[in-house]
């Protein structure tokens, strides 16, 4: 009897009627998941700018990206993840690099792009002229982990502050 039940379950799974919960997600689903996590972290009133910690009460620009990817179950390894090392780690885990000089207009940026000014700052493009970033402030108690539509267009912001950067896009 047990063999018959096992056989029936196997046939049903092979026919595609039941999809295992760990089925591979598409690229679009992964991007939607990690951008949603970035916005969630940014909208959490308890999260402040600062050195990252395991409790996620404070994040800096690179840990915002790390925790967004991690919470969305997008692999990014267990090595030190900061603005300086991020590029190598992202490339190792399914992202490709694009030189910033190839970005000429807003439509060249895609939702989920991670823009790294190596050794300086990181932002995540959310699509529709919006981005998520964590940045320092000299003003105490000012929320600096934000997901917003900036006053200037994202391409002007990009050209002004990220001319020598690299864009990482999920393959």
Would you state the pLDDT for residue 18? 46
Query: 20 pLDDT exceeds 50?
Result: no
List helix spans (H) across the chain: 2-15, 27-43, 61-71, 86-92, 154-161
Query: 1 pLDDT exceeds 70?
Result: no
| Distance (Å, whole) CA 99 – CA 165 | 7
Higher pLDDT, 151 or 69: 69
pLDDT tens-digit series, residues 66-106:
999 998 988 887 777 888 889 999 999 999 999 888 888 88
Q: How confident is the model at residue 24 (pLDDT cuts 50, 70, 90)?
A: confident
Query: 107 pLDDT exceeds 50?
Result: yes
Higher pLDDT, 46 or 13: 46
* Token output for 82: 């900061």
Residues 6+ away with beta carbon under 8 Å from 76: 66, 69, 70, 89, 90, 93
């Amino acid at each position: 009897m047990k063999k018959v039940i096992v056989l029936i379950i196997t046939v049903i799974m092979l026919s595609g009627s039941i999809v295992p919960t760990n089925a591979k997600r598409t690229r679009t689903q992964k991007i939607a998941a990690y951008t949603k996590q970035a916005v969630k972290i940014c909208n959490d009133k308890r999260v402040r700018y600062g050195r990252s910690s395991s409790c996620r009460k404070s994040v800096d620009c690179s840990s915002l990206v790390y925790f967004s990817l991690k919470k969305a179950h997008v692999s990014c390894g267990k090595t030190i993840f900061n603005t300086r090392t991020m590029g190598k780690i992202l490339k190792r885990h399914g992202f490709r690099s694009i030189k910033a000089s190839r970005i000429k207009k807003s439509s060249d940026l895609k939702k989920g792009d991670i823009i790294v000014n190596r050794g300086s700052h990181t932002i995540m493009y959310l699509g529709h002229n919006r981005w998520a970033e964590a940045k320092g402030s000299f003003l105490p108690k000012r929320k600096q982990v934000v997901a917003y539509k900036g006053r200037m267009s994202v391409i002007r912001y990009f050209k002004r502050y990220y001319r020598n950067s690299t864009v990482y896009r999920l393959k």
